[in-house]
Amino acid sequence: MGNAWPTGRYRQAFAAGTLVIASALASVPAEATVVLAESTSVSALQTNAYLFSAPGAGTLDVQLDDLDFSAPLDTLMASINSPSAVLGSLSLPNDNLLITVNGPLQLSAFVTAQAGGPLDLGAYSLDVTFTAAGTPVPLPATGLLLCGGVGLLGSIGWGWRRRADTHPEVPVRNESVMCAV
């Protein structure tokens, strides 16, 4: 029966590869979270209100797009408001706005659109994503513990196999069960 575990320099390369993978898993950055995604059709002149919240300190990326449903919208404007102030506004289609918030906050977006073209119909989309402030908190424990646990179990198994190969056990007879006939 052959040994399935790496030996010598292969074992060192295996350990180094495991460390590289663990460190790569430990530094996965946080991604942006979608806090509002709305697509709305417009007939004539409409104003719509949307409520959303920023979960903490960070940056809100507000994207307002004219979807050119039957024709481009004649007018498309949006404002992002906190309970006490206007934080920013957009007045051009296919525009975006970055807003920095210092903590959790309930916000509202008001979008005014005037449809155009012969059908007097249109559509727009409003997308708001949130990215947390500061450096993302890495999760080194997850990847490192996984690789460390696998390595520990592998080394224990390797040690047992090596010991079994160098010191074969002699079968023990249980004479208390044996009887002479």
Question: Looking at the predicted structure, is the pLDDT value of residue 33 above 70?
Answer: yes
CA–CA separation, 169 vs 180, rounded Å?
A: 26
106 φ, ψ (degrees, to nearest 5): -85, 130
Question: Looking at the predicted structure, is the pLDDT value of residue 80 above 60?
Answer: yes
What residues contact residue 163 under an 8 Å CB cut-off, 6+ apart? none
As a whole number, mean pLDDT of residues 21-45 equals 76
What is the tens place of the pLDDT at every residue in 123-179? Answer: 999 999 999 887 555 555 666 666 677 777 677 766 656 665 565 565 556 666 555
Residues counted in the chain: 181
3-state class (DSSP) for residue 65: strand
Task: Note the pLDDT of residue 133.
Answer: 84
Domains, the chain, in order of start with CATH, read 33-132 (2.60.120.380)
Task: Note the pLDDT of residue 105.
Answer: 92
User: How far is the CA of 170 from the CAs of 36, 63, 99, 122, in angstroms?
Assistant: 70, 75, 75, 86
